Amino acid sequence: MRILGIESSCDETAAAVVADGATILSSVVASQVDIHRKYGGVVPELASREHLRQIVPVVREAVLQADIALRDIDAVGVTQGPGLVGSLLVGLTYGKVLALALGKPLIGVNHLEGHVHAVLLEAHAGGRAPKLPAMCLIVSGGHTLLYRVEAKSNASGNGALQLSYSRVGGTRDDAAGEAYDKVARMLALGYPGGPIIDKLAVHGNPSAVRFNEPKMGGNQYDFSFSGIKTAVLYYLRKRPELQPEIDAREQALARGERNADALRVLSSATTLDLVASFQHAVVEGLIRRTLAAAEQFGAASVLVSGGVAANRELRTRFEEESRKYGLETFFPSRALSTDNAAMIAAAAYPRLVAGERADASLNAQPNFPLGKVVESLELKV
């Protein structure tokens, strides 16, 4: 079963061919990061316009790299949501028309379910299937969510793992990746902020600046990142002496000098300490809540996916800490951490096998929820 996956929910136009939900035959991603860089974030109108330019060549390239013809595809899986409506519509409409023209089944895929499958895809390829139920942290520029993932009890379909999802927690304000991007912007470290802060943080002292844990009532597995962003802003306001180096980095970025070494040379120890402390606070907060939820909801393993899952400190610290709980943590490769279409094709596979079919009425769902919410979860005793 070869599924063509199409993804266009945010600022990456992606297409991939995946066999049996497990073997990646091709995965093509056209990133728009150069277009959105000068605005310091994704501009929805520009994103949809760029998807329109890219969708046809990207799909063609994915089919070419898979060394097949379009008619050899068994189904089309396309991201239905959540995401930017104008962006979603481009991939969705193209996928729909393609499936209709080829006379192949069409499957609408939840982008978040795709992120879960990004981890499973590679874990299976490596012969290490994560034990279920798992606690899955999806952490990107658009999402910070915790899901309990388990095998469906009433699964139909042979051989394909059918999963069900329960939402355990999520961010109340910014996503973690968004906090990375905003802090990087304040410090003139370029866009996207995550990869550069990842590289600079190792040169600073992570305990130099103390950030308070966000105090929130209600669900203890919710996240909040707007407080730490504001704390960084106030920290900088109190230190006008840092302004000249911020200006110098701004000029370096304007000249196109974006690599970590170039920016590090223009950064004082105070700035590197701030960056390291920010990352430390974000990483420890993510890990603490995820592992507490894993324990509470009886998870047998931990999955971490989304753009921020590429972070090196997050990976090492997650592995160290989860071991203490006797849990193994699984991450996708860096390429599958950020948005891609292989994860969409992989998520479409069990649905295809179970007989799920979308028709021409399939529409974009910008706020598409995944699974049920925590209230209906049975707690581990």
Q: How far is the CB of 10 from ligand KG4 (least distance, A)?
A: 5
Rounded to the nearest 10°, the torsion over CA 292, 296, 302, 308 is: -40
What is the C-alpha separation between 297 and 376, in angstroms, rounded?
A: 12
Q: Show the binding pattern over residues 127-146: x = contacts Zn ion (CB under 5 A), - = does not.
A: -------------x------
Per CB under 6 A, residues contacting ligand KG4 are 10, 140-142, 177, 180-181, 192-195, 198, 306-308, 310-311, 338-339
Task: Compute the residue count for the chain.
Answer: 381
Contact partner, 310, from Zn ion, ligand KG4, none, Cβ < 5-8 Å per class: ligand KG4
- Smaller CB separation from ligand KG4, 77 or 195: 195
Q: How far is the CB of 352 from ligand KG4 (least distance, A)?
A: 24
Our finding on whether 11 is near Zn ion (CB under 5 A) is no
Contact partner, 77, from Zn ion, ligand KG4, none, Cβ < 5-8 Å per class: none
Q: How far is the CB of 340 from ligand KG4 (least distance, A)?
A: 9
Query: Cα-flanking dihedrals φ and ψ of residue 173, to 5°?
Result: -140, -105
Q: What angle do CA 306, 307, 308 make, to 5 degrees?
A: 95
- Smaller CB separation from ligand KG4, 299 or 308: 308
Q: How far is the CB of 359 from ligand KG4 (least distance, A)?
A: 28
Q: Which two tokens stand for residue 148?
A: 């309990």
- Smaller CB separation from ligand KG4, 21 or 114: 114
Query: Cα-flanking dihedrals φ and ψ of residue 166, to 5°?
Result: -125, 130
Contact partner, 311, from Zn ion, ligand KG4, none, Cβ < 5-8 Å per class: ligand KG4
Query: Cα-flanking dihedrals φ and ψ of residue 148, to 5°?
Result: -90, 125
What is the C-alpha separation between 2 and 20, in angstroms, rounded?
A: 6
- Cβ–Cβ < 8 Å for 193, 180: yes
Q: How far is the CB of 53 from ligand KG4 (least distance, A)?
A: 19
Rounded to the nearest 10°, the torsion over CA 79, 10, 365, 62 is: -20
Quickly count: other Cβ atoms within 10 Å of residue 11's Cβ.
27
Our finding on whether 339 is near Zn ion (CB under 5 A) is yes
DSSP 276: H
Q: How far is the CB of 61 from ligand KG4 (least distance, A)?
A: 19
Q: Which residues bind Zn ion (CB under 5 A)?
A: 140, 339
